[in-house]
Amino acid sequence: MTTDQQIATMRTHAGRPASEAAFAQACRFLPGGVNSPVRAFGSVGGTPVTVSSVCGAYIEDIDGQRYIDLVGSWGPAIAGHAHPDVIAAVHDAVKRGLSFGAPCEDETHLAELILSALPGHDRLRFVNSGTEACMSALRLARGATGRQQVIKFSGNYHGHSDSMLVAAGSGAVTHGVPTSLGVCEATANNTTVVRYNDADAVTKVFEQMGSEIAAIIVEPVAGNMGLIKPAAGFQEYLRKLCDTWGTVLIFDEVMTGFRVAWGGYQNVCGVQPDLTCLGKVIGGGMPVAAYAGPARLLDQVSPAGPVYQAGTLSGNPVGMAAGLATLQLCQGDGFYEHLTKLTSRLAEGFAEGARDAGINLVTDCIGGMLGFSFSSQPICNFEDAQAADHDRFGRFFHAMLDRGVWLAPSGYEACFVSAAHTDTDIDAVIAAATSAFQEMS
């Protein structure tokens, strides 16, 4: 990028009249004007920006303004938006039809490629969203163990199925309380919510009712309350408890899968879960997700076994083509090393910019995932994440948007870097952040 372009990117994006009008229209027909609540600007204020197109590292709005994108459609765009290889593969698939409702060869090709990256996993079932993957993995765990109870961690997100829409009350361990109207108490009661990174708290639950616990479901690196890495030995300890009690360990790698490393975080920490949930990256921008595991578990899924699960559009050829092309790009030489380097440079740039402005900021990153919180304390669990300064995040969010950088509109989200981001893009984001921190201090 030339200096002129850099200045253009840094210019104050004054008004977005087309977005304002489009959102007002959207609110007439869509609840809250959006089709997923994370897209609303509820926690940062202002009006959501309506997008016309995405390409590489950039996102363009319907007012014709361009931003450097650090959301990447919430993770899938690891190779950059609309990568020519992915678009070509999708075009090629589309020519042969959109959905067969019958087996296609690419289902097997993508399954084989994904499973080659997950040691101990023999089979998988494709579904259409991360929500479905987690919901189905939990059903399988309950079916295979004949038990009802599951453990989840506060601040971990596993989609919007009833049994996962629960939160902890106060305290390290609580029976789930519904976080949404419409979730039955009886359902929530089968979910026990435990503080993330708190091994003692998990132990207590097992001491009380270990033989009733079908599964522990966990984000091996938490990415839905900022970015929180597991405490040393935490995943190993969960593995040990599950082995002792005959409980199914489910890694929800919908976000971390093929994002933090080839395969997922399990290949970084060396702990093998019994089931893995995937989504986001494996569909390369199409609605594709999956749950995977050893034959002894996956062969209990219908029609091979008695645990029912189905999907009209599951494994459709267009999604499979997008996923295959995306994962083939991820297999390129040095792909994750490059992504990691870009992401850590961005994290360091944020940290330095904040330090220079005298602002307390905690940053962390892994692979192509970056988190930052306006806090003077390390962030280890949901309570810590809540205690961060979210008003300050809201001001930072708008300061960045006005400087041409697209962040998720919530202080609880991670940022995603793609292989299409150049060093110049990263420099421009750091410059924007440094200037935003100065303005805020």
Ligand X SMILES: *Cc1c(COP(=O)(O)O)cnc(C)c1O
Tell whether residue 413 is a contact of ligand X (CB under 6 A): no
Quick count: other Cβ atoms within 10 Å of Cβ 51? 17
Can 427 be counted among the known catalytic residues?
Answer: no
Tell whether residue 202 is a contact of ligand X (CB under 6 A): no
Tell whether residue 252 is a contact of ligand X (CB under 6 A): yes
Tell whether residue 23 is a contact of ligand X (CB under 6 A): no
Helix (H, G, I), strand (E, B) or coil at 125: strand
Tell whether residue 273 is a contact of ligand X (CB under 6 A): no
d(CA 332, CA 52): 30
Can 58 be counted among the known catalytic residues?
Answer: no
Helix (H) or strand (E) run with residue 416 in it = strand 415-416
> What are the beta bridge partners of residue 264?
none
Tell whether residue 285 is a contact of ligand X (CB under 6 A): no
- Strand-pair category, 66-69 with 405-406: parallel
Name residues whose C-beta falls within 8 Å of residue 394's C-beta, 6 or more positions apart in sequence.
43, 44, 45, 411
Tell whether residue 257 is a contact of ligand X (CB under 6 A): no
Place of tokens 């959301």: 71
Helix (H, G, I), strand (E, B) or coil at 58: strand
Give the nearest distance from C-beta 257 to ligand X in angstroms. Answer: 9
Helix (H, G, I), strand (E, B) or coil at 123: strand
Q: Note the maximum CA span of the chain.
A: 65
**287 token code pair:** 């609605």
Among 61, 219, 364, 384, binds ligand X (CB under 6 A): 219
**Nearest residue relative to ligand X (C-beta):** 130
d(CA 398, CA 389): 15
Tell whether residue 106 is a contact of ligand X (CB under 6 A): no
The residues in 353-382 that bind ligand X, with binding defined as CB under 6 A, are none
Give the nearest distance from C-beta 279 to ligand X in angstroms. Answer: 5
Tell whether residue 131 is a contact of ligand X (CB under 6 A): yes
Among 49, 93, 255, 278, binds ligand X (CB under 6 A): 255
Among 136, 224, 247, 343, binds ligand X (CB under 6 A): 224
Q: Quick one: which segment of 3-11, 113-121, 154-162, 334-342 binds ligand X (CB under 6 A)?
A: 154-162
Tell whether residue 76 is a contact of ligand X (CB under 6 A): no
Whether 386 and 380 have beta carbons less than 8 Å apart is answered as no
Give the nearest distance from C-beta 38 to ligand X in angstroms. Answer: 9
> What are the beta bridge partners of residue 69?
406
Among 81, 121, 158, 229, binds ligand X (CB under 6 A): 158
Closer CB to ligand X, residue 201 or residue 288? 288
Catalytic residue among 106, 198, 252, 425: 252
d(CA 275, CA 137): 7
Please give the positions annotated as active site.
157, 252, 280
Judged by the rule CB under 6 A, the positions of this chain that interact with ligand X are 129-131, 134, 157-159, 219, 223-224, 252, 254-255, 279, 289
